[in-house]
Structure 1
């Protein structure tokens, strides 16, 4: 931003006594005048934008219709500065007696029983001041609303902002605007010519203003303020801009520039992956994007596992970052577990790309992990701790990062706050964190600003219900408006979903090419580019067999298969079934049973491992690690007695019993699989774990042919849906149609059968299946009607839940804030936790679902302990607010539950957990957690006996 020319001004007495901040309101010490704070925040906006790519500044220039980008940026920064103009009013000035006393000597005062928030006062008083300077009235009004909502919520402008405002107050407000415009050299400039202010422009200005306000509000109050802003506001602005740059260095806001200015070929980019060779998908996408086109793009990748979708997306990000001027990347996944896995992969990728940059242009990458369980991710917490110790987080805009690739990735603590995390340049987490940008939550515009002009990757999109899918469509529309590129990846999409996504990007859907397929839609093009992804690819023929769904029968079959040698995986639809099957397997094996949490290999025993979501977080993490240790790629690296070991530990005979958590979150390989009937796409996801790693060929015991046993495939599944509670987990219509689609089949060919089967089951136009008898047809018609109604309801709810379309958002009436809903499934296993006692009323956020509750099992033995041996105190009412180490230890013993008895009990009888300053209630990590008090490992709540078993996890027993 060029140095402005200042118009001379003689300050009034009134403008010099108006206060904005005070260290001690009652004493009036360490105060800051309104003008100083306005210029501080304007300086922060300027410092932020000078580190943004040129494309961001060009977007802001387009918002105001100003062809001179430097001039437009000065106008934007001046608007951001004026965010607190409403503090120059009696409604605010009366709040500190000592400071107000000086104000009343030069400005009129009236008694105030109620005060309008100063942001709303800004919305009221600024538009006419801008209109008097030539601004279009609609643009002035909407811009004032964008900066006025900096405390978190867009609200309607009040008719009368406060009482006592008169000529003298109007004069000093006008003087403040003059001084701010003088500081930015705008007093003699023509007003921006824009005659409309779009939803995208609103989000950009609102997000920037709040970010700048957060940074500017951290400036220290140093006694009596400097008189400089009143005599030479431009000189003060220059000084404040230097201070803003220092503060941005401190929090780690570095220059936003391409990670790889000239991306290497794909093979060289991923040469850190042993044996990497570019797949056809990766090559095809790179060729389509290898053009001088600077426009953002929507990219749909529909391909099976093993095609390299993640690497294709990461390479596309490098290309789009250079061509379109994007400023970072966010990878959004369906669960915390998938987010954790991607954090490690993205961390490695970013580190290698940053380390290979030319020494003249080094860069440090900030990477945030965004989900509710990030406190439990040891790698992320290590990155935070390491960054915290590096010169108090002080970094230069382009620091020298020569050295190990791992040292080029950091996790700035300032950005780890949930509202700030998406401001970081790079991030990985759940889709829910991105979707909060389109929900009416506090500071949603900050989240959208963080995602704007960025590459956003949405992975495993097939995992969401209709409600969440509606929010994803809204997010895609907003990303289109905010000049972001979006990459959507899925094993396959129903045709209607593909069309809806293309419509959200304002392009006309084209006929889908043969599967697997790639679709690229450029902003402004009438139609997308769609291509079939050529081979060669690995195909696999899976033998398909039906089996008895009764738990004892499944257990017996698992034992028989394991006795033949190799690894057996059983995936079922509910936690209760998993626990029942585990107990039956243990009983049938007798002395041959070997718990895989206590040992690995034994020549005469069969290892058995249970994995689901109803374990305390640390136990679940340990069980997940053992799944990957024994069934992941070999040799495996693991810790024993605190020391790392690397060896081949794949068991010769092994049974894994799991729920949906193993369906998409874990990269493991099994020799043979038994699964409950499930919707076809999820069933095929499960089958994808069969013979996944070619390196295990020749060591699969008696299971050289991949075989999938499907429980419930023999008979029409209506009875099984009720008996085994599957109807509470998945839509019966999809279960019936999946069952029918697999009738008569003895084999599945993957990936060839994937897309045709998914389209057949999910196509809403598929008529009632003629091969069914009349009773079955009637049952299916009823189930189809119910599913159609459910989808219609979810579509309506999803449409009502988000903030609106970019082109109509500002015309909609404002709504009360939802607060901070956290809809992500923190336990990753929402469906499997559901049973006949689940609450019927859904809660609204980023996902629909039953009410849930985070609990911490507490062992009561004279006192309250985290462990049954009484070694670690629970500190329910005594935990210190700043004791994060103890809080994390407690949180690690927590788990999310949705059992109606438990949720209702704690809602009606909340536990005393301390207060505002001490105890769980005071700590950010535990404020929503409730203690589950156990005596001898169990308790009774309502009509449910709850027990914690070290092998089975949390057990529910209905008491009649």
Structure 2
């Protein structure tokens, strides 16, 4: 013990204070100093093999010099459990408490047993404040450091929350012995990690206060280091102080890191030569892609890049190439790419893996796919099949999660072969963004902007990456609040961000830029900016903060394809009862008759309906005209197997083809909004329900998408036929009520005005896209004078609804109004959300009732059958070879049935309760007619139509 210079009494204290009980440390208690050093040693490995170069450089500046950042980072991670050196924690394990009392550290048993608990994370914040102040730390440095300790269990309290129950010092430890033991623990720990000198703690003091976004990133890394060091498989207890050392902790941490197969990203990416675009993608850049690269090269620092270009222009390739440039310049160590839906994330996962493989083939296997249905992605499953398959969390959330966020472990034996996919550790709940490369839904970023438990893990996963978000125009006003909040934090952290869209309304573009710049300047309010409007299309907008303040550049170029002259027609709804909620029947017949005439010589048509019910009825009407073989149906209420098979069949038939295979002679695809984004099909004719202009133009992007396809003479000119409205002479048109419920009456009225004005003529696409979007989302009157009063009423309701939805999001945003200028994380989680069940987080950021997925099973005599027809056990028992058959039956119920699912307590079949992947599934049992009752509704699964829901809950 002489190496620490401790008195016998102090050595006795450190040899008794425990950090992990025997039950949580592999059968032998782990001393507190041992666990703190374990965590510090994990932090050393993280520094060397995981932290982004930009974070290491930033920490060196914060700590006051090259090499000091590593010491500070290691110290911050290891000191997290200082609060366990209190009676409030030490009395909680009988064996440990006896040893501590025997060493001379005592407490009033009755007070601790009878009073409220004092959490050790908050106790650590309180102790650290006292000890650092005593060592001469400045208040501003102490103020940002203690929240990292006080918040390491997921929520960051206010300074007032640090006090023990009833401010009773018995919880903290009365008398000199406790204070001396706490000081000795901190001193020994600090010396072991590498600090020295007479004024030991004063030497630890940082030189700069980092931006709050960087503080949150560091908070996430503290949690990450603690969770790894809390894995009892790799960190068995050490109860003998003589065996405790930093070198021993280093050996354990290196072994654990290797066994968990954790790794960082591409490190410091080198600048690529001028030919790198061709090397990555096989072709040189188009003019719009070169425009983006030129704009990024001109930026004076990390910032925001908004790329607006037509469908099929190559925005994604431009963004990936720009991400390389930005990463090389900033020191970012990976990429997150967020898509609007799970369906659009899957093909992007493939594209990102291909791109990374061209940079370094080892990177292609390190991409995490982050969405709730990734288990259905065959490429993802094949990637993870290299070791022990994939973990339980790949289905219905995490399994067996404890206070450290640990879940069942797979493939962690050192004798296992190297995984071909991301480390299993990264795939646990809340940890996905910590994977250096990730593709998922935009929800991942939106959730990082919520005041929820362990949000610091999400932010730690984003800061240090390049962030790319596609189809950002799809975010509605509620979702946009979280997007803007996220951009503020990313801007403050200096994260390069690329936003992709077909086009943006000028106001939305301005808000996105303002949010990022507000964060970059740590401003309380969004700045008033004069954002130049693009002079053409495609265009790029870049924004960053330079020495002279905010900098903005806007550029544009010509598209790589000539404009399509798209004919616009209105197919008026047949006369229906204005009070009817289901006019889809007569409309379906009208569409069927129209297509029968248009496709008389063949051709491929796409019909997009705004609701599932409407799509199902349209499909039936078309089948009556053309037969089942020529008509295909796609929507969200098909079970997973049917949806995957039909999507693949449609993409095979109407997708891009370079092998000369002929297209179908005649084919009609009926779909919902699934076909609106990232759906690479080429239709000869489009029939679509009215939608806001930007979404309508997205749908038009499926028209004549691929060059060289032969088309029937009737369909040689691209034509969009708009349904869901009926003209009323010169008066206000009738609009489908279901569409109004989805999109709002005001934008539909203004879009209808543009559509009706173009009826019989057309639009030049994409040339007119920015103009059309700006007109519909602008404030100039574009509707006929006869509509003016109706438009004014609709605008008032629209604005009121938008204000309400903004207000509805405010309580859940990461920062409360008026607190963006705060210098530290203190009180970040005050009034925030705690642990949310599966589905609640998605509902939180998407403004809706949490929809529920169920597993359809057929009741068959005394047992069950999967939807594929294969028999399960009497209680639903599912052998490994039957898992895919069961999962095929996954279907998402309408949100209106969520309450009924909870009321009926749908859960796993009895035979699933011990199954690692099905134990959290919700089974919906169908009878011999494939029907079920739920919440007053009749549900029927039809192999042609999908799930048919009738009645009201």
TM-score above 0.5: yes
Counterpart CA distance in 2 for 1:299 and 1:611 is 34
Q: 3-state SS of the aligned residue for 1:520?
A: strand
2:524 corresponding residue in structure 1? none
Unaligned runs of 5+ in 2: 391-409, 519-528, 574-586
Assess if the C-alpha contact under 8 Å between 1:945 and 1:958 holds in 2.
Answer: yes
1:815 corresponding residue in structure 2? 831
212 and 825 in structure 1: CA distance in 2 versus 1, 3 angstrom threshold: closer
1:898 corresponding residue in structure 2? 894
* In the alignment, structure 1 residue 477 sits paired with structure 2 residue 499: no
84 and 730 in structure 1: CA distance in 2 versus 1, 3 angstrom threshold: same
Assess if the C-alpha contact under 8 Å between 1:301 and 1:489 holds in 2.
Answer: yes
458 and 394 in structure 1: CA distance in 2 versus 1, 3 angstrom threshold: farther
790 and 365 in structure 1: CA distance in 2 versus 1, 3 angstrom threshold: same
Assess if the C-alpha contact under 8 Å between 2:34 and 2:238 holds in 1.
Answer: no
2:13 corresponding residue in structure 1? 14
2:583 corresponding residue in structure 1? none
State the Cα distance separating 1:82 from its structure 2 match: 1.1
Assess if the C-alpha contact under 8 Å between 1:153 and 1:817 holds in 2.
Answer: no
Choose which of 319, 337, 351 in structure 1 pairs with 2:325.
319
1:421 corresponding residue in structure 2? 432
Counterpart CA distance in 2 for 1:733 and 1:823 is 30
134 and 490 in structure 1: CA distance in 2 versus 1, 3 angstrom threshold: same
Q: 3-state SS of the aligned residue for 2:550?
A: coil
1:779 corresponding residue in structure 2? 790
288 and 28 in structure 1: CA distance in 2 versus 1, 3 angstrom threshold: closer
304 and 166 in structure 1: CA distance in 2 versus 1, 3 angstrom threshold: same
Choose which of 557, 560, 577 in structure 1 pairs with 2:614.
577
* The 10-residue stretch of structure 1 (547-556 or 925-934) with the greater mean CA deviation from structure 2: 925-934
222 and 504 in structure 1: CA distance in 2 versus 1, 3 angstrom threshold: closer
Q: What TM-score does the superposition give when structure 1 sets the normalisation length?
A: 0.86
Q: 3-state SS of the aligned residue for 1:382?
A: helix
Choose which of 756, 760, 766 in structure 2 pairs with 1:751.
766
Aligned positions, number: 877
1:553 corresponding residue in structure 2? 590
Counterpart CA distance in 2 for 1:78 and 1:509 is 45
Counterpart CA distance in 2 for 1:421 and 1:343 is 14
* In the alignment, structure 1 residue 282 sits paired with structure 2 residue 298: no
1:262 corresponding residue in structure 2? 271
Choose which of 42, 64, 71 in structure 1 pairs with 2:40.
42
Q: Deviations over 1:185-235 (max 9, x none)?
A: 3242534254756422421221110111111112535465453466xxxxx
State the Cα distance separating 1:704 from its structure 2 match: 1.1
Q: What TM-score does the superposition give when structure 2 sets the normalisation length?
A: 0.86
1:368 corresponding residue in structure 2? 368
State the Cα distance separating 1:437 from its structure 2 match: 1.2
Assess if the C-alpha contact under 8 Å between 2:64 and 2:208 holds in 1.
Answer: no
Counterpart CA distance in 1 for 2:94 and 2:813 is 42
State the Cα distance separating 1:50 from its structure 2 match: 1.9
2:302 corresponding residue in structure 1? 296
Counterpart CA distance in 1 for 2:237 and 2:696 is 67
Q: 3-state SS of the aligned residue for 2:785?
A: coil
2:89 corresponding residue in structure 1? 92
Assess if the C-alpha contact under 8 Å between 2:262 and 2:425 holds in 1.
Answer: no
2:735 corresponding residue in structure 1? 721
State the Cα distance separating 1:857 from its structure 2 match: 2.2
2:631 corresponding residue in structure 1? 608
Choose which of 81, 106, 109 in structure 2 pairs with 1:108.
106
* In the alignment, structure 1 residue 690 sits paired with structure 2 residue 697: no
Assess if the C-alpha contact under 8 Å between 1:611 and 1:657 holds in 2.
Answer: yes
State the Cα distance separating 1:177 from its structure 2 match: 0.4
Q: Deviations over 1:830-868 (max 9, x none)?
A: xxxxxxxxxxxxxx5111123422222221222352436
Choose which of 511, 522, 534 in structure 1 pairs with 2:544.
522
Choose which of 440, 451, 455 in structure 2 pairs with 1:440.
451
* In the alignment, structure 1 residue 794 sits paired with structure 2 residue 831: no
Counterpart CA distance in 2 for 1:137 and 1:943 is 61
1:306 corresponding residue in structure 2? 312
State the Cα distance separating 1:311 from its structure 2 match: 0.6
515 and 798 in structure 1: CA distance in 2 versus 1, 3 angstrom threshold: farther
Q: 3-state SS of the aligned residue for 2:360?
A: helix
State the Cα distance separating 1:742 from its structure 2 match: 2.2
State the Cα distance separating 1:574 from its structure 2 match: 0.8
Assess if the C-alpha contact under 8 Å between 2:907 and 2:920 holds in 1.
Answer: no
State the Cα distance separating 1:892 from its structure 2 match: 2.9
237 and 856 in structure 1: CA distance in 2 versus 1, 3 angstrom threshold: same
| Superposition map of 1:759-778 within 5 A | 759-763=774-778, 765-767=779-781, 769=782, 771-773=784-786, 776-778=787-789
State the Cα distance separating 1:887 from its structure 2 match: 5.4
Q: 3-state SS of the aligned residue for 1:493?
A: coil
2:862 corresponding residue in structure 1? 863
Assess if the C-alpha contact under 8 Å between 1:437 and 1:448 holds in 2.
Answer: yes
2:148 corresponding residue in structure 1? 146
Counterpart CA distance in 1 for 2:780 and 2:840 is 32
Q: 3-state SS of the aligned residue for 1:873?
A: coil
Q: Deviations over 1:162-182 (max 9, x none)?
A: 734112222211111001111
1:341 corresponding residue in structure 2? 347
- CA RMSD, 1 decimal: 3.1
State the Cα distance separating 1:488 from its structure 2 match: 0.4
Counterpart CA distance in 2 for 1:212 and 1:825 is 25
1:233 corresponding residue in structure 2? none
Counterpart CA distance in 2 for 1:166 and 1:39 is 26
2:555 corresponding residue in structure 1? 531
Q: 3-state SS of the aligned residue for 1:438?
A: coil
Q: 3-state SS of the aligned residue for 1:290?
A: helix
Unaligned runs of 5+ in 1: 231-235, 356-361, 402-406, 596-606, 637-646, 827-843
863 and 261 in structure 1: CA distance in 2 versus 1, 3 angstrom threshold: farther
State the Cα distance separating 1:154 from its structure 2 match: 1.8
Q: 3-state SS of the aligned residue for 1:626?
A: helix
Assess if the C-alpha contact under 8 Å between 2:357 and 2:363 holds in 1.
Answer: no
Choose which of 652, 672, 685 in structure 2 pairs with 1:659.
672
Q: Deviations over 1:340-382 (max 9, x none)?
A: 1100111111112214xxxxxx767511001111111111111
910 and 583 in structure 1: CA distance in 2 versus 1, 3 angstrom threshold: same
State the Cα distance separating 1:913 from its structure 2 match: 3.5
Q: 3-state SS of the aligned residue for 2:858?
A: strand
State the Cα distance separating 1:928 from its structure 2 match: 5.5
Counterpart CA distance in 1 for 2:331 and 2:616 is 52
* In the alignment, structure 1 residue 490 sits paired with structure 2 residue 504: no
2:256 corresponding residue in structure 1? 247
* In the alignment, structure 1 residue 909 sits paired with structure 2 residue 917: no
846 and 389 in structure 1: CA distance in 2 versus 1, 3 angstrom threshold: closer
State the Cα distance separating 1:626 from its structure 2 match: 1.0
* The 10-residue stretch of structure 1 (141-150 or 196-205) with the greater mean CA deviation from structure 2: 196-205
Q: Deviations over 1:810-829 (max 9, x none)?
A: 46661243423666999xxx
Assess if the C-alpha contact under 8 Å between 1:432 and 1:824 holds in 2.
Answer: no
Assess if the C-alpha contact under 8 Å between 1:370 and 1:430 holds in 2.
Answer: yes
Assess if the C-alpha contact under 8 Å between 1:546 and 1:712 holds in 2.
Answer: no
State the Cα distance separating 1:648 from its structure 2 match: 2.3
1:56 corresponding residue in structure 2? 55
1:624 corresponding residue in structure 2? 647
Counterpart CA distance in 1 for 2:235 and 2:422 is 28
539 and 906 in structure 1: CA distance in 2 versus 1, 3 angstrom threshold: same
Counterpart CA distance in 1 for 2:357 and 2:414 is 17
Q: Deviations over 1:310-352 (max 9, x none)?
A: 0111111111111111110000011001101100111111112
2:402 corresponding residue in structure 1? none
State the Cα distance separating 1:927 from its structure 2 match: 2.0
